[in-house]
A and B are shown apart, each in its own frame.
Chain A
Amino acid sequence: MSKTILVVDDSDSLRQVVNIALTGAGFNVVEARDGKDALTKLNGNKIHLIISDVNMPNMNGIEFVKQAKQLPQYKFTPVIMLTTENQQSMMEEGKKAGAKAWMVKPFKPAQMLQAVSKLLMM
């Protein structure tokens, strides 16, 4: 069974890019537009990996990951944070919140696939 990845970002186009790349590589993709939306999506689906942006309206990525990690079924789910170069301090916070990896925007879809397969296959 193919694995399901939750993509959280407030940009429609970014989600679409990630979605195209991941679907092309054989993953199932669930999209969410902010942290709050993402939390509800976690409950309705079985998610194997989370890719989340940091700066989002309603609930930011750090807060979302913190809350996600408190759910027993997602305690060990790997998380990739998407950050920009301006948010070095955010990376640290993300790590503390439980993110396994982070990618600096802009990234190439291929780069992201590499990171995803690394985290899922290991």
Chain B
Amino acid sequence: MSIDLSSAIATFVTESKELLQEMENGLLDLESETSEEHANEIINALFRAIHTIKGSAGIFDFEHVVTLTHIAETLLEDARNGNLQLGKELISLYLETRDATESLIVLAAAETEPDQALLNKVNNLVSCFSKYIDADNTQIDQHTAAQSSNEGTLDNERWIVFFVPNENVLRNGLDPYSFIHYLDSETSNLVVNTWLESMFGPQQYDPESNYLSFVLSFDSDKSESEILDIFEFIQSEAYIAVLPPKGNIDVLKLSIQKYQDFDFITEALSKADQSFVDIVKLLNCEGTDSNDPPKKVSDEPAAVPSKIHKSKTLRVEALKLDRLIDQVGEMVITGARTNLLAHETGNETLIEAMALLERLVENIRDSSLKLRMVQIGETFNKFKRVVRDIADELGKQVDLTIIGAETELDKTFVEKVSDPLMHIVRNAIDHGIEDPETRLAQGKPEQGQLTLKAYHDSGSIVIEVSDDGKGLDQEKILKRAVDRGLISSNQTLQEKDINLLIFEPGFSTAESITNISGRGVGMDVVKRNIDSLRGSVEVESVQGEGSTILIRLPLTLSIIDGFMFEVHKENYVIPLDTVVECLELHEVVSEQDIQDKSYINLRTEVLPFIRLRTLFGIEEQIDHTRESLVIVQFGTLRAGLVVDSLKGEFQTVVKPLGRLFEGLKCISGATILGSGNVAIILDVSALIKSAISVYEALEKKH
């Protein structure tokens, strides 16, 4: 009987991704966890995650996933029973396992075989785990270990030769390579694993000395003495041990001590013969006694409250949600229209009932929009790992602080903002935070601080990435921008604008290109991505003290509280939360200036304004004394908009513009009014910018 499990496999992929993410968070928390009780709680959760993945993977016959998760689970079981401490090393191992498992699952779900690199990685992880398991077993259960090693024979199928020429072979005119070459011609499928003794510094290196040792494995039907004969001439100058198929374990044990690097030998053996992956177990009992302590002593200061957070969630298809929100949007529009009609009848009870209905519709709108909202914490948590890895790679010490993880934003934003954030974080660590020595020299603490912060601010979400690194070097930025032809050398820029140059395409100030960032792609992509979300980027930086990058995003894309006004008998809407105040134009500008002036003095602040009639190219003039001034704010920028008349607050369902209008500046969407008419939604940030640029152009002329 065959059952179509493809839908279940899809569920499995999502489920395991979630579990693996949980696992990663758990592991990272564990690293800093100090209370034993919480550590146990985390370990239990880790165990359950791995266990669940293994169970399901088995049902789908995802063999590689099962192998890896099985051994990871086994070791974790020891940790759960308190027989093993999860130290930094093991946590790293589990993090790698987490990555490998995810890749394996994705591949398995796509019915693709993993490539050799991944398989090697998996094998490597498996052998690392078995090393720990074994080292662990020796301590818990010495008897079983002893018994199994007493059996004496191994079940290797290939020949193994341990070939350790001494230091003087080359001086004595013997070339170890020629023996290996000869062995190759006499046998088949030779695999050579070379170990370079790296215990010498460059000064001690003697080009005439030999620092190489080998583990050779091959297939052959020769006898043991025939193999030994191959090495006859070098016998006095080298340690040579031959391990025939089903060889003696004592030979193996004796031989591996000749290689001072335990990791090398386990890896070499597992490459040499399939069966040695298990045999690594036996080796560990003997080999790791002295130099490879599996138990890490944990350092545990004060207690911290539980960090495992469980949220009850219900998975809903995104499409269904979109449809719901769309329908709610239609309902809001129809509601507005009905309200209008009700008012026309003048029937008091009807109007009252409509008001109630309106309120309910508003509630439904709010709660259905909330359905799309997710906490940003999950996205932030991903950065714990990123920061840890990048800092490790660059040899820097970085401590990540997360503030406002519970701030909610639209799911679509979360997905789209994650990549830009990644670039910014990488840049901050790579270019911002200095290496420990420099920091100490400058009197800063060795460990750099990176802060991810999210909060709501007047109708938008602000995400801040700040570091206490060296800050932006404005001179360098300017010079580079001129070099790259981004600006001309006689241009004077404000500090704020200089900082923003780093987001220009093709800009990169790092002197050396590193792996992490610095290819000059990236920051411009960041800007583009955020622009596409109707957001904005700001940079604040103090040289020597650090920099902060602020990303400002609108709360949601689909329904907004709007503010409606009229220009030349057409209705226009702007988001209500951008409106600061409304004034009568003639009250703030003198009669004779009203036509030409482009700024006002508003309570001692110079405020540029722009006449929408002029902007829209309407030549017909109206009585200036009847015009109103709407003062709007976006981020830190303010400007005034001159409109014909004000209409007030309006529930706006944002409808995207057709492709024809996509490129238009200052227009961000459209909405349908209760009367069925269309109103254009204006892009406030673009309007403010054009108002400021008009003002600045005029200033220059004067």
Contacts and interface: CB of A to CB of B under 8 A. Distances in A.
Interface of A: 10-14, 16-17, 20-21, 24, 53, 55-57, 82, 84, 86, 105-110, 113
Nearest to B66: A106
Contacts of B48: 10, 55-57
Contacts of B54: 84, 105-106
A11 B54 CA distance: 11
Contacts, number: 73
A87 to B, nearest CB: 9
A106 B59 contact: yes
A55 B315 CA distance: 22
B597 to A, nearest CB: 65
B226 interface: no
Contact of A13 (B11, B61, B73): B11
A51 to B, nearest CB: 13
Given A20-B5, A20-B8, A21-B3, A13 B15 contact: yes
Interface in B1-55: 1, 3-5, 7-9, 11-12, 14-16, 48, 51-52, 54-55
Given A55-B51, A86-B73, A106-B66, A17 B8 contact: yes
A-B complex: 5 closest residue pairs judged by Cβ atoms: A106-B58, A13-B12, A16-B8, A105-B55, A13-B11
Nearest to A10: B52
Contacts of A82: 55
Nearest to B57: A106
Given A13-B11, A53-B55, A109-B3, 10 more contacts: A10-B48, A10-B52, A12-B12, A16-B8, A17-B8, A20-B5, A20-B7, A57-B310, A82-B55, A113-B1
A25 to B, nearest CB: 9
Q: Quick one: which of B5, B15, B59 has the most chain A CB within 10 A?
A: B59
A82 B7 CA distance: 22
B56 interface: yes
A56 to B, nearest CB: 8
A47 B513 CA distance: 65
Interface of B: 1, 3-5, 7-9, 11-12, 14-16, 48, 51-52, 54-61, 66, 73-74, 77, 310, 315
Contact of B59 (A24, A57, A107): A107
B51 A84 contact: yes
A24 B57 contact: no
7 contacts: A13-B11, A16-B8, A16-B12, A20-B3, A24-B3, A109-B1, A109-B3
Contacts of B66: 106
Contact of B11 (A12, A86, A110): A12
A105 B58 contact: yes
A107 B15 CA distance: 19
B558 to A, nearest CB: 29
A14 B58 CA distance: 10
Nearest to B73: A86
B1 A110 contact: yes
A105 B61 CA distance: 11
Nearest to B77: A86
B265 to A, nearest CB: 30
Contacts of A53: 55
Contacts of A10: 48, 52
A37 B360 CA distance: 32
A51 B14 CA distance: 23
A13 B9 contact: yes
A86 B15 CA distance: 22
A86 B8 CA distance: 25
A10 B73 CA distance: 17
A107 to B, nearest CB: 7
B310 A11 contact: no
B504 to A, nearest CB: 46
A115 to B, nearest CB: 14
A59 to B, nearest CB: 13
A62 to B, nearest CB: 15
B59 A14 contact: yes
A32 to B, nearest CB: 13
Contacts of B9: 13
Contacts of A55: 48, 51
B11 A16 contact: yes
Contacts of B58: 105-107
Which one of A53, A55, A106, A113 has the greatest number of beta carbons of chain B within 10 Å? Answer: A106
Contact of B56 (A13, A56, A57): A13
A56 B61 CA distance: 22
A91 B14 CA distance: 30
A57 B52 CA distance: 11
B74 A14 contact: no
Contacts of B15: 11-13
Nearest to B19: A11
A11 B1 contact: no
Most buried by B among A13, A17, A57, A105: A13
Contact of B55 (A16, A20, A84): A84
Nearest to A11: B52
A107 B58 CA distance: 7
B619 to A, nearest CB: 64
A110 B9 CA distance: 17
A21 B237 CA distance: 67
A97 to B, nearest CB: 20
A17 B74 contact: no
Given A13-B56, A105-B55, A106-B58, A20 B12 contact: no
B5 A11 contact: no
A17 B77 contact: no
A108 B5 CA distance: 12
Max count, chain A CB within 10 A of own CB: residue among B55, B56, B61: B55
Nearest to B62: A106
Contact of A17 (B5, B16, B315): B5
A14 B55 contact: yes
Count chain A CB atoms within 10 A of each CB in B9, B16, B52, B77 and give the residue with the most.
B52
A10 B51 CA distance: 11
A14 B53 CA distance: 9
Contacts of A107: 58-59
A49 to B, nearest CB: 19
